[in-house]
Amino acid sequence: MSQNATAMQDMDIDLFLSTLKKEVASYRTPIVDLVEAQTRDPFKVLVATIISARTKDEVTADVCKRLFEKVHLPEDLASLEVEEIERLIYPAGFYRNKAKYLKALPEKLFTLFGGTVPDSVEELLKLPGVGRKTANLVVTVAFGKPAVCVDTHVHRIMNIWGYVNTRTPEQTEMELRKRLPQKWWLTFNSILVAFGQGTCRPVAPRCYQCPLEKHCPQIGVKPGRAPKRPRRGDGEAMRFISWNVNGLRAAVSKGFLESFAELDADIVALQEIRARAEQLDPKVRNIPGYHSWFHSAEKKGYSGVAVYSRLDPLKVTTGMGENGPDPEGRVITLEFPDFFFVNIYFPNAGRGLARLDYKLEFNRNLLEYLKALKEKKGVVACGDFNVAHTPIDLANPDSNEGNAGYTPEERAWMDTFLEAGFTDTFRMFNSEGGHYTWWSYRFNARSRNIGWRIDYFCVDSKSRNRVAGAAILDHVTGSDHCPVELLFKKTG
């Protein structure tokens, strides 16, 4: 019996889809569902669905926002020239063809259906730019009627599971009409689109984080590899972790203590703990085997840093001493016999860059502080720097030019910092883009890896030869940042 035939017999579609329904609840809502939820307007759902073909969801979202400022009714669309529609829907895929279809759409709607969007697949197929996928999706999303909408994600994933064994989306649609329980017809497309964009991607699917890994036959799949973690090397190197936990109490409710144990680090530096030590559960404050120190902001529930260490430091200090005040709980330093370990939570430049000046002042003070430390002994400086240094350090550099975290001023400070003799350790091992440490909670950004690399481990020039490895641990969840890691040799 073939692998496919076996898989088709064993397949429990209810188990698969109900597991994924829970899994994708935290993913971004597919754009067409979003348009429906926001507008409750079949005409706008139809237009958004036509635009969304072969177009990334975030592009469709931008385009629809722009277009729907001008277009509320079919008459509005009819009044626009093709060139103007092209301008409005650029850079959607095949925008020239789509502009022609959209220009022709109102007339067809009026002549065939009296100006309203029909609610059956057969009728929708008579409209320009509407294929089976679009028609099925509009019927499901705009009218809440069961239909079998098969796009490339659905076609691909159903074949990976062996639920169908088909060559084209059309064949998949016909198979699913026969086999898929009707109770899933309204929802399975949204579930599989979100899952296919996030975890079960077309290239290198993230099977290592998939809740179906144990059940999935993975037909024809070459799974992506879990992110590599450098080897420590028989006790020669210490493992240091830096992690912005985005609220330590919230992180604890998302499995922080389990992650902490798995990280198995000698020092763990946390930023943005947003709590005073006394507000923390004793089992968080005092993790067995570690000393811990907390430096909180004067303002409650804001900022704050903490360090846990298996190693016994000579001294622990908070703030930057004479180099500047630290009322926001942003710096904590552990002094060891042969190096300083400095945990820093840099300010965010803020909405509208309202805090850019504050941040630049902090940065200048901090650099003076670190320069003074490195005159005495080696320095390991880590934390959330709140800046993406170069275009390869964020997914969308062009559209973020001048935004908080990617202003010329913040990036210039990073240049100055590196010119002062510090090294960004991750770049000692990896010079590629696509490696990020922070992702917005919106738009399913993390599973689509639309992120920023803003968390760093840096060392002074004397300590470079002690760096044995550096990594981004993007498989560790529980915050909108992931931990970053440094392996630091015990001696130089």
Provide, rounded to whole angstroms, the least separation between the CB of residue 436 and ligand SF4: 20
Provide, rounded to whole angstroms, the least separation between the CB of residue 483 and ligand SF4: 23
Name the segment binding ligand SF4 (CB under 6 A); options: 102-110, 211-219, 265-273, 479-487: 211-219
- Between CA 104 and CA 108, with CA 105 as vertex, the angle to 5 degrees is 90
303 is an interface residue for ligand SF4 by CB under 6 A: no
Q: Which is nearer to ligand SF4, 105 or 158 (CB)?
A: 158
List the one residue from 75, 84, 107, 213 that touches ligand SF4 (CB under 6 A): 213
Provide, rounded to whole angstroms, the least separation between the CB of residue 16 and ligand SF4: 8
Structure-block tokens of residue 232: 């420590």
205 is an interface residue for ligand SF4 by CB under 6 A: yes
Provide, rounded to whole angstroms, the least separation between the CB of residue 216 and ligand SF4: 3
Q: Which is nearer to ligand SF4, 85 or 212 (CB)?
A: 212
| Of 121, 197, 204, 192, the residue nearest 159 (C-alpha) | 192
207 is an interface residue for ligand SF4 by CB under 6 A: yes
Alpha-carbon 480 to chain mean position:
8
Q: Which is nearer to ligand SF4, 206 or 448 (CB)?
A: 206
CA–CA gap between residue 270 and residue 294 (Å, rounded): 9
Provide, rounded to whole angstroms, the least separation between the CB of residue 17 and ligand SF4: 11
Write the DSSP assignment of 344-411 as a string of letters. EEPPP--GGGTTHHHHHHHHHHHHHHHHHHHHHSEEEEEEE-----SGGGBS-HHHHTTSTTS-HHHH
275 is an interface residue for ligand SF4 by CB under 6 A: no
List the one residue from 52, 60, 134, 218 that touches ligand SF4 (CB under 6 A): 218
Q: Which is nearer to ligand SF4, 78 or 221 (CB)?
A: 221
Tally of CB atoms within 10 A around 72: 13
- Across the strands, what pairs with 270? 243, 306
200 is an interface residue for ligand SF4 by CB under 6 A: yes
Structure-block tokens of residue 441: 């909670």
Query: Who's near 106: CB < 8 A, 6+ residues apart?
Result: 74, 75, 77, 78, 115
The size of the interface with ligand SF4 (CB under 6 A), counted in residues, is 13
Q: Which is nearer to ligand SF4, 127 or 160 (CB)?
A: 160
Provide, rounded to whole angstroms, the least separation between the CB of residue 305 and ligand SF4: 36
What's the burial of 254, exposed, middle or buried (CB within 10 Å: 0-12/13-18/19+)? middle
7 is an interface residue for ligand SF4 by CB under 6 A: no
- Residue 384 among the catalytic residues: yes
Three-state secondary-structure class, residue 434 = coil
Handedness of CA 157, 158, 163, 169 (dihedral sign): negative
Is the Cβ–Cβ distance between 242 and 271 less than 8 Å?
A: yes
In the window 150-189, what residues touch ligand SF4 (CB under 6 A)? 160
- Residue of 57, 151, 384, 393 marked active site: 384
- Widest pairwise Cα distance in the chain: 84
List the one residue from 51, 141, 210, 458 that touches ligand SF4 (CB under 6 A): 210
Point out which residues bind ligand SF4 (CB under 6 A): 160, 199-200, 205-207, 210, 212-213, 216, 218, 221, 223
Q: Point out the residues that are catalytic.
A: 384
